[in-house]
C-alpha cells in the first residue's frame, strides 16, 4: 500500500510536541499528541510493541524546559503508540498540567495577539527561484488552486496541499490530505514546527521558510512559463512509487552537504563533491578527494572535517596558497551554507550544514 494512502487513512490528532524515545538500545525521535498528565500518543513510523518500557525526553511547544519521564506502551495502531506515564515526579505532573491548562485558556480566548506574520517564503524548482514573497498574515495556504496564497500550477501539487500558521512562539506547517504528501527537510509529516531555513517539499517544488541570504546564494530568479491550459483545472497527478522515490532522492541529494568546485570560464560550470566521509582532502593528485589546480598546490592542501551531524569545518594543511573563507584568511573555520572558499585560483562553495561562525 502506498505510504501516503496509509498516512491519510490514519486518525488525525493534534501535534503538541516532540519526544526523544529510548527503548532498550533503540533510540528514535517522534511527534507527540493528545498529551495529558496520565500519558500521551507518540506518532512513530514503526509502532512500538505493547508492553514496552520507554524513557522519554519530552519537549512540549511553549514549555520552558524538557521533561524526563518513564512510560509503558499500552496500545498501537497504524500511525503510532499510546503510552501511559509510570510514576511521574510531581514536578513533571505540574509542568504538564500547567501546559494543558494554558492551551485550554488559549483556545477559549482565541487570543489574536498570539498570532504572528508567517514571514518570507521562497518557492524553488531545482536551482531556480519561482516566487519570493513576504507574508504579513498569520496563515498561508499552498496548493494548485489559484486562490491559494502560494499557487503552484503543477499537477504534482494538490488543489489544497498544505498550510502554514504562525504564532509568536512558532510556525507550524500542516498537510491537508494532499495526494503526494508534504515533507519538511526530507521527512514526511502531517504537521511540523518550522525553523528558519527549513525546506518544505510540495510535489516537485521546494518552499523555503524564512531563508537566510546564504541559503539563497547560487539560486537563479526566473518567472514560471505561462501554461496554455491551467493545470489547476486538472486532477492531481499522483506520483507513482518509482517517480516519487526519484523525486525524493533528487530533493534529498540536493540537501546533502557538499562542495561545489566552480570552473573558470564563461559557462560558470561546477563539479559537485559530496561530504559523505569524516575527512575530505582538497589537493593535487589522485589521492585528493577534491582535485585542485595550481603549481603551488600540495597533495594535501586542506581538508574538510565533519565535526558532528551536519556541522563541518575546513582546515589549512599548508601555509601557501592561503585558505580564505568569504575573503578572510583562516587556518580553520566552521562552515555555513553558502560560504565561498578560495585556495589559490580555485573557488569552491559549501552547501549544507548548520554550523556557526568561528575562525582562527
Q: Are 140 and 173 in contact (CB under 8 A)?
A: no
> How many residues are given for the chain?
360
Helix (H, G, I), strand (E, B) or coil at 89: coil
Which tens digit of pLDDT belongs to each residue from 308-343? 767 889 999 999 999 999 999 999 998 887 889 999
The DSSP symbol for 223 reads: P
Q: Please tell me the distance from the alpha carbon of residue 166 to that of residue 149, in angstroms, as a whole number.
A: 14
Q: Tell me the CA distances in angstroms from 354 to 214, 327, 334, one per residue in order.
A: 12, 20, 10
Q: Please tell me the distance from the alpha carbon of residue 190 to that of residue 44, in angstroms, as a whole number.
A: 12
Which tens digit of pLDDT belongs to each residue from 146-159? 888 999 988 888 98
The pTM assigned to this predicted structure is 0.45
Q: Is the pLDDT of residue 43 over 60?
A: yes
Say what the pLDDT of residue 13 is. Answer: 42
Q: Please tell me the distance from the alpha carbon of residue 300 to that of residue 65, in angstroms, as a whole number.
A: 46
Q: Are 162 and 175 in contact (CB under 8 A)?
A: yes
Beta bridge partners of 81: 42, 76
Tell me what the mean pLDDT of segment 10-36 comes to.
76
Amino acid at each position: 500500500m502506498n505510504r501516503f494512502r496509509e498516512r491519510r487513512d490514519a486518525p488525525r490528532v493534534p501535534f503538541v510536541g516532540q519526544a526523544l524515545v529510548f527503548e532498550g538500545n533503540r533510540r528514535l525521535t517522534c511527534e507527540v499528541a493528545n498529551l495529558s498528565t496520565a500519558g500521551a500518543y507518540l506518532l512513530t513510523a514503526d509502532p512500538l510493541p505493547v508492553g514496552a518500557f520507554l524513557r522519554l525526553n519530552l519537549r512540549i511547544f511553549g514549555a520552558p524546559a524538557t521533561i524526563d519521564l518513564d512510560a509503558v506502551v499500552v496500545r498501537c495502531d497504524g500511525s503510532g503508540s499510546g503510552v501511559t506515564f509510570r510514576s511521574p515526579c510531581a514536578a513533571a505532573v505540574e509542568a504538564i498540567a500547567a501546559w494543558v491548562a494554558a492551551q485550554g485558556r488559549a483556545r477559549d480566548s482565541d487570543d489574536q495577539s498570539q498570532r504572528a506574520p508567517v514571514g518570507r517564503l521562497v518557492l524553488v524548482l531545482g536551482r531556480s527561484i519561482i516566487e519570493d514573497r513576504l507574508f504579513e498574515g498569520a496563515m498561508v495556504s499552498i496548493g494548485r488552486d489559484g486562490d491559494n496564497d502560494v499557487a503552484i500550477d503543477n499537477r504534482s501539487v494538490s488543489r489544497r496541499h498544505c498550510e502554514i500558521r504562525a504564532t509568536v512562539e512558532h510556525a507550524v506547517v500542516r498537510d491537508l490530505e494532499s495526494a503526494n504528501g508534504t515533507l519538511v527537510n526530507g521527512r514526511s509529516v502531517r504537521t511540523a514546527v518550522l525553523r528558519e531555513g527549513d525546506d518544505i517539499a510540495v510535489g516537485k517544488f521546494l518552499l523555503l521558510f524564512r531563508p537566510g541570504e546564504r541559503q539563497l546564494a547560487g539560486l537563479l530568479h526566473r518567472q514560471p512559463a505561462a501554461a496554455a491550459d491551467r493545470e489547476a483545472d486538472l486532477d492531481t497527478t499522483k506520483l507513482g512509487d518509482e517517480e516519487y522515490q526519484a523525486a525524493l532522492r533528487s530533493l534529498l541529494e540536493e540537501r546533502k552537504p557538499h562542495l561545489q568546485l566552480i570552473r573558470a570560464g564563461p559557462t560558470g560550470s561546477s563539479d559537485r563533491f559530496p561530504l559523505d566521509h569524516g575527512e575530505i582532502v582538497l589537493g593535487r593528485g589522485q589521492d585528493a578527494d577534491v582535485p585542485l589546480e595550481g603549481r603551488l598546490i600540495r597533495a594535501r592542501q586542506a581538508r574538510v572535517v565533519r565535526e558532528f551531524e551536519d556541522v563541518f569545518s575546513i582546515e589549512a594543511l599548508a601555509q601557501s596558497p592561503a585558505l580564505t573563507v568569504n575573503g578572510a584568511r583562516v587556518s580553520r573555520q566552521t562552515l555555513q551554507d553558502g560560504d565561498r572558499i578560495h585556495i589559490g585560483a580555485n573557488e569552491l562553495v559549501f552547501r549544507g550544514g548548520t554550523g556557526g561562525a568561528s575562525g582562527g
